[in-house]
């Protein structure tokens, strides 16, 4: 997880921890570009996930004078408290973001941060359950994850994450970040993505659980045709009733087709 900023204060020296995936962002140009993309305004309720050493935190708090942060590494909390004491009201929640209830912080949240690469997908799905309280989200992630999030059908990067992200949010890839912006440098490129939750999803499904299951099962066998990957859920006749070709592969389908298939599953369960 690229977290934030170089270690500027020896008395607070902090060695990056592999178990937290810590690579500290130190490039002022990149930090400025991220803050510019977020464009925090006075009165915004911003929540930062994984403030790390506080590169984004300092800039956000200076502009907003009030900020919530969720940090798992307890050793970083005293440093954040001391360095941000004169900048504004920093509310630190010592918690695992995967289990944190962001809705407890209020509504119209703007969630930002550098998500740990090893848990980025489950964390996104955790946040999807709470989008009624979210205005927008800005995340730095592994570049290949962002590529999958914004991918279109019939491309190599398109998959389950693409469909589920794009069902919930308008996703925009903003810019890439090279390994040299971090210390120590990770072995992969990073990218920043903006997610704006839909108030109404782009397609209507009768049962979200059925939609999620169809997408997950289809892409668990992405090289197989739908008649094979959806065995146990739908047969050829039922797939055809959804106006989908059973010989197609999942990466060829858009969200609309997955919605039709899930509604067919729901209809089958009701009969």
| pLDDT computed for residue 181 by the predictor | 82
DSSP tag of 81: H
Query: What gap in Å lies between CA 33 and CA 4, rounded to an integer?
Result: 14
Domain assignments of the chain as residue spans, ordered by start: 2-197, 208-270
Q: Is 229 in contact with 176 (CB distance < 8 Å)?
A: no
Predicted local distance difference test score (pLDDT) of residue 196: 98
pLDDT of residue 7: 42
Is 83 within 8 Å of 61 (Cβ atoms)?
no
| CB-based burial, 129-155: b 16+ in 10 Å, e otherwise | ebbebbebbbbbbbbebbbbbbbebee
Return per-residue pLDDT of the chain as tens, 271 residues: 444 444 444 344 545 444 444 466 778 999 999 999 999 999 999 999 999 888 899 999 999 999 999 999 898 899 899 999 999 999 999 999 999 999 999 999 999 998 878 889 999 999 999 999 999 999 999 999 999 999 999 999 999 999 999 999 999 999 999 988 877 677 889 999 999 999 999 999 999 999 999 999 999 988 899 999 999 999 999 999 999 999 999 999 999 999 999 999 999 999 8
Instruction: Give the CATH class of 208-270.
Output: mainly alpha
pLDDT at 24: 61
Per the DSSP assignment, residues forming a β-bridge with 45 are 109
pLDDT of residue 142: 92
- Burial (CB count within 10 angstroms: exposed 0-12, middle 13-18, buried 19+), residue 167: buried
The domain 2-197 is classified under which CATH number: 3.40.50.150, 1.20.910.10, 3.40.50.10710, 3.80.30.20?
Answer: 3.40.50.150
Give the span between the Cα atoms of 99 and 79, in whole angstroms: 24
For 36, residues 6+ apart whose C-beta sits below 8 A from its C-beta are none
* Distance, CA of 24 to CA of 210 (rounded, Å): 40
| Cβ proximity of 211 and 259 under 8 Å | yes
């Amino acid at each position: 997880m690229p977290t934030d900023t170089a270690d500027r204060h020896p008395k607070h020296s902090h060695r990056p921890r592999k178990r937290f995936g810590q690579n500290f962002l130190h490039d002022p140009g990149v930090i400025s570009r991220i803050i510019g993309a977020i464009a925090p305004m006075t009165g915004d309720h911003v929540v930062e996930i994984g403030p790390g050493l506080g590169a984004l935190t300092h800039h956000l708090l200076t502009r907003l004078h009030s900020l919530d942060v969720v940090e798992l590494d307890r050793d970083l909390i005293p440093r954040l408290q001391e360095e941000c004491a004169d900048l504004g009201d920093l509310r630190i929640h010592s918690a695992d973001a995967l289990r944190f209830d962001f809705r407890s912080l209020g509504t119209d949240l703007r969630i930002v941060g550098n998500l740990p690469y090893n848990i980025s997908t489950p964390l996104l799905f955790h946040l999807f359950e709470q989008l009624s309280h979210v205005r927008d989200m800005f995340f730095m992630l592994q570049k290949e994850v962002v590529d999958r999030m914004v991918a279109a059908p019939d491309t190599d990067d398109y998959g389950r994450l693409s469909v589920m992200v794009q069902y919930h949010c308008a996703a925009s890839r903003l810019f890439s970040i090279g390994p040299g912006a971090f210390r120590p440098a990770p072995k992969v490129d990073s990218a920043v993505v903006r997610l704006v939750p839909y108030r109404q999803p782009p397609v209507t499904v009768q049962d979200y659980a059925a939609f999620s299951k169809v997408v997950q099962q289809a892409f668990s066998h992405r090289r197989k045709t739908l008649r094979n990957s959806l065995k146990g859920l739908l047969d050829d006749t039922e797939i055809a009733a959804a106006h989908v070709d059973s010989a197609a592969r999942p990466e060829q389908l858009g969200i609309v087709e997955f919605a039709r298939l899930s509604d067919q599953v729901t209809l089958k369960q009701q009969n």
